[in-house]
Chains A and B, each alone.
Chain A
Amino acid sequence: MNFNIYDFTDFVNSINVWLNTVFPPAAADIAGFVIIGICFLTFITLLGLSLVYIERKVCAFFQQRLGPMRVGFWGTAQTIADIIKLIFKEPLVSKGSDKFLFNLAAFIVIIAPFMAIAAVPFAKGLHVLDFDIGLFFITAVSSIGVTGILLAGWSSNNKYSLIGAMRSGAQIVSYELSVILSLLTIIILTGSLQLSVIVESQRDGWWIFKGNIPAVIAFFIFIIASTAESNRGPFDMAEAESELTAGFHTEYSGIKFAYFFLAEYINLFIIAAVGATVFFGGWMPLHIGNFEFFNNIMDFIPPIIWFFGKIAAIIFLIMWFKWTFPRLRIDQLLTLEWKYLLPINLVNLLLMALVALSGWHL
């Protein structure tokens, strides 16, 4: 087994070969699935735990306090303690609620990001699903989550939940358009929806630098729209704790509440991952044209660190929004999308087509 931190292709292939030597072909496939599944479950759990911790610390530092400090070193074990509490809590189902849909909703909400995360390219060769409609797949499956939110609001038999769910439905359906259009702006340049091809196309520079002004505009729209799509502040209409107590998950408790919470953070990760892949070159190191020496130094940093570094930067940006801005009102939110972002986006798409045709991009 030849492990190489810069290129996982050989490593992954050698595992595959080893599995095929140990098991018969059919069983080898199943064993492969199981290994991938276990890896992802572990990864997502760790991701959820660490993101919750990071968010609490980031928010605390914005608010001039320390955040969790008691459990473990600098409160690192706080989220683990919280998860243990949530697991042992009684899963309450309120009277008059639609029990089947109520339970199903929590699972739908968590399944959507689980599916989307499979298509994320972590590093060269470290990629579960790499097919020619990768980006389309991610945007498509990540919007399944809204079904879960709508079901949760409807089945809870609570008016606050219902208002929250309806808001969320209107919001996600609207902002989906902007997310996809802003991504399409870059797709004009890459010419492919396959994520590995998109990453590879940024070998000599990231699209945000190469793509001229339209790429920068597209990135800003992407960040705004995807924050809205993931129901995070300042667009957290669906929760709006000062108006709707907790919105669509008011009635959830215990581990099912944790699912909603976890889904929010995995969605945050997916947004950052898509943003990093499309605009900032994914795991591709920072390369500047012909500066060989500089490029070699950058290549020395492993791609996986590049990838997670970029994600961390985008996640920090989104958290910064959340802990600084007040929340919008639902009609202002929809006005922003339909009257400003969408027209700007369409014009931007035309502009990018013009840039691509005239060869103004690098």
Chain B
Amino acid sequence: MTEQELITNIETVPETQEYFINMGPQHPSTHGVLRLLLTLDGEIIKKIEPHLGYIHRSIEKMCEKDSYQQIVHLTDRMDYLSCHINNEAVCLCVEKGLQLEVPERVKVIRTIISELTRLSSHQLWWGVMGMDLGAITTFLYGFRDRELITDIFEETCGARLTMNYNVPGGVMFDIHPNFQKRTKDFITYFRKKLPEYDELLTGNVIFTERTKDIGYLSKDDAISFGVTGPSGRASGFACDVRKRFPYSAYDRVQFEEIVYTEGDCFARYKARIAEMWESMKIIEQLIDNIPEGEHKAKTKAVIKLPEGEYYQRVETARGELGVYIVSDNKKSPYRVKFRSPGFSNLSALDTMARGNKIADLVATMSTLDLVIPDIDR
């Protein structure tokens, strides 16, 4: 989009026949306190203006007065569905600053739990996607399987949602003795259950009619809006951080980067379903090969990063999360900035849903997989 087009987009000039409607901050399908100001002509969307700030907790500012160990906990509350991956991003960034080499065991454990987190996030997304399109049963199916993953987390990390498992230098505790067995059991179980997801939703005529050729995002737009994650890859933008800039144990596992070129809602849907298969593949490769060793590298009680700027990117369930830390050699960072995937993905919503109907907006928003606290921070 050119600069001039962007400027004309910002102006709101209602024509005759047009009216406004506030979708949110309390609305069932914004899944949080997102407010969209829609300009409608009948049911056709003329313009979407997202209004943010309803759940702003100034996490970035809070980071400036906390120690590096404490910052990790705050990131749980950004994208709470991929909280482990958020923690990992901060830890990796701090470790980069300290030039700390973490034990191999930590790398593998982090990768396995990251992929489990991605699976559980996608399961929840699948359930919610069905519910947004009016098939409430999918929600319960998604939760049924997600429950097993949270049980695994509970055993190893002590919490089910905001796990706080990572600390700079490693993970908080060693894995539970049951962890490997339960994870393997889950993978065997879920390999049977995932085709059920396809039966219920993917093959359904109504579902494909509702999602095909809806919410189209071209590759160029995906790149210029910075739409990453499965949403970006469904438009042909190969942006998987795990593949492009491997971190933790991703350099030693075989998996495919899922890229589709259609760029519609159905492609984004397929991309996430395919990612679930890939995540299972990664876990299977690693689960039997967790190296022996320490679960944590030795760090000082008070971490001080050398003066400088550090950046680390990771692939969350929603896309690329970047952590940018500016340090002035004190106990807490001088400035922290999170490049959250949700914020960039949301910015493309107007381009994607314009000209479609209200019902399509719900489908489009659902396939972007927005988590509102991630957008606002």
Taking Cβ atoms with an 8 Å cutoff, the residues of A that contact B are 59, 62-65, 159-160, 163, 233-234, 236, 240-245, 323-332
A327's nearest neighbour on chain B, judged by CB, is B134
Which of B43, B358, B359, B360 is most buried by chain A, counting CB atoms within 10 A of its CB? B359
Contact A64 B43 (CB under 8 A): no
Q: What is the bound-complex CA distance between A331 and B19, given in angstroms?
A: 20
Contact B210 A326 (CB under 8 A): yes
Q: List 7 A-B contacts (CB under 8 A).
A: A159-B19, A234-B135, A240-B359, A324-B200, A326-B135, A328-B206, A329-B210
Binds A, one of B137-145, B156-164, B180-188, B238-246: B137-145
User: Which single member of A241, A242, A330 contacts B43 (CB below 8 Å)?
Assistant: A330
A329's nearest neighbour on chain B, judged by CB, is B359
- With A159-B19, A163-B43, A241-B28 as known contacts, state yes or no: A326 contacts B144, CB within 8 Å: no
A residues within 8 A CB of B209?
A: 328-329, 332
Contact B210 A330 (CB under 8 A): no
A residues within 8 A CB of B207?
A: 326
Contact B134 A326 (CB under 8 A): yes
A residues within 8 A CB of B137?
A: 59, 62-63, 323-324
A residues within 8 A CB of B358?
A: 163, 243-244
B residues within 8 A CB of A242?
A: 28-29, 131-134, 362
Closest chain-A Cβ to B357's Cβ sits at a distance in Å of 6
- With A242-B28, A326-B207, A328-B206 as known contacts, state yes or no: A234 contacts B357, CB within 8 Å: no
> Which B337-362 residues sit within 8 Å CB-CB of chain A?
357-360, 362
Q: What is the bound-complex CA distance between A324 and B141, given in angstroms?
A: 12
The size class of the interface chain B forms with chain A is: 20 to 34
Dominant secondary structure of chain B at its interface with chain A: helix
Closest chain-A Cβ to B333's Cβ sits at a distance in Å of 41
The answer to whether the Cβ of B226 comes within 8 Å of any Cβ in the partner chain is no
Which of A324, A326, A328, A330 is most buried by chain B, counting CB atoms within 10 A of its CB? A326
A residues within 8 A CB of B29?
A: 242-243
The answer to whether the Cβ of B55 comes within 8 Å of any Cβ in the partner chain is no
Contact A329 B360 (CB under 8 A): yes
- With A242-B132, A326-B201 as known contacts, state yes or no: A159 contacts B21, CB within 8 Å: yes
Closest chain-B Cβ to A327's Cβ sits at a distance in Å of 3
Contact B21 A326 (CB under 8 A): no
Q: Which 3 A-B pairs have the closest CB atoms?
A: A327-B134, A63-B140, A326-B133
B20's nearest neighbour on chain A, judged by CB, is A159
Which of A233, A241, A243 is most buried by chain B, counting CB atoms within 10 A of its CB? A243
B residues within 8 A CB of A331?
A: 357
B363's nearest neighbour on chain A, judged by CB, is A329
A residues within 8 A CB of B65?
A: none
- With A64-B144, A242-B28, A243-B359 as known contacts, state yes or no: A325 contacts B204, CB within 8 Å: yes
Q: What is the bound-complex CA distance between A331 and B134, given in angstroms?
A: 16
Taking Cβ atoms with an 8 Å cutoff, the residues of B that contact A are 19, 21, 27-29, 43, 130-137, 139-141, 144, 200-201, 204, 206-207, 209-210, 357-360, 362
A332's nearest neighbour on chain B, judged by CB, is B209
Contact B21 A328 (CB under 8 A): no
- With A327-B133, A329-B357, A329-B360 as known contacts, state yes or no: A245 contacts B27, CB within 8 Å: yes
Closest chain-B Cβ to A237's Cβ sits at a distance in Å of 9
B residues within 8 A CB of A63?
A: 136-137, 139-141
Contact A234 B43 (CB under 8 A): no
Q: What is the bound-complex CA distance between A329 and B361, given in angstroms?
A: 11
A325's nearest neighbour on chain B, judged by CB, is B206
Contact B21 A160 (CB under 8 A): yes
Q: What is the bound-complex CA distance between A332 and B43, given in angstroms?
A: 13
Contact A243 B362 (CB under 8 A): yes
Q: What is the bound-complex CA distance between A234 and B139, given in angstroms?
A: 16
Q: What is the bound-complex CA distance between A332 and B21, given in angstroms?
A: 23
B residues within 8 A CB of A327?
A: 133-135, 206, 210, 359
Which of A159, A245, A329 is most buried by chain B, counting CB atoms within 10 A of its CB? A329
A residues within 8 A CB of B133?
A: 242, 326-327
B residues within 8 A CB of A240?
A: 134, 359
Q: What is the bound-complex CA distance between A236 and B136, given in angstroms?
A: 13
User: Which single member of A64, A233, A328 contacts B210 (CB below 8 Å)?
Assistant: A328
Q: What is the bound-complex CA distance between A192 and B293, given in angstroms?
A: 86
Contact B21 A64 (CB under 8 A): no
Closest chain-A Cβ to B205's Cβ sits at a distance in Å of 9
Contact B359 A323 (CB under 8 A): no
Q: What is the bound-complex CA distance between A331 and B204, given in angstroms?
A: 18
Q: What is the bound-complex CA distance between A325 and B137, given in angstroms?
A: 9
B207's nearest neighbour on chain A, judged by CB, is A326
Closest chain-B Cβ to A163's Cβ sits at a distance in Å of 7
Q: What is the bound-complex CA distance between A178 and B43, given in angstroms?
A: 25
Q: What is the bound-complex CA distance between A128 and B200, given in angstroms?
A: 44
Contact A330 B359 (CB under 8 A): yes
Q: What is the bound-complex CA distance between A238 and B273, given in angstroms?
A: 31
Q: What is the bound-complex CA distance between A160 and B40, given in angstroms?
A: 12
A236's nearest neighbour on chain B, judged by CB, is B134
B residues within 8 A CB of A244?
A: 358
Q: What is the bound-complex CA distance between A160 and B131, given in angstroms?
A: 19
Which of B29, B43, B136, B204 is most buried by chain A, counting CB atoms within 10 A of its CB? B136
Which of B21, B130, B134, B210 is most buried by chain A, counting CB atoms within 10 A of its CB? B134
A residues within 8 A CB of B43?
A: 163, 330
- With A243-B359, A329-B210 as known contacts, state yes or no: A64 contacts B134, CB within 8 Å: no
Contact A330 B136 (CB under 8 A): no
- With A63-B140, A243-B359, A328-B206 as known contacts, state yes or no: A233 contacts B134, CB within 8 Å: yes
Closest chain-B Cβ to A57's Cβ sits at a distance in Å of 14
Q: What is the bound-complex CA distance between A62 and B29, given in angstroms?
A: 23
Closest chain-B Cβ to A181's Cβ sits at a distance in Å of 23
B residues within 8 A CB of A243?
A: 29, 358-359, 362
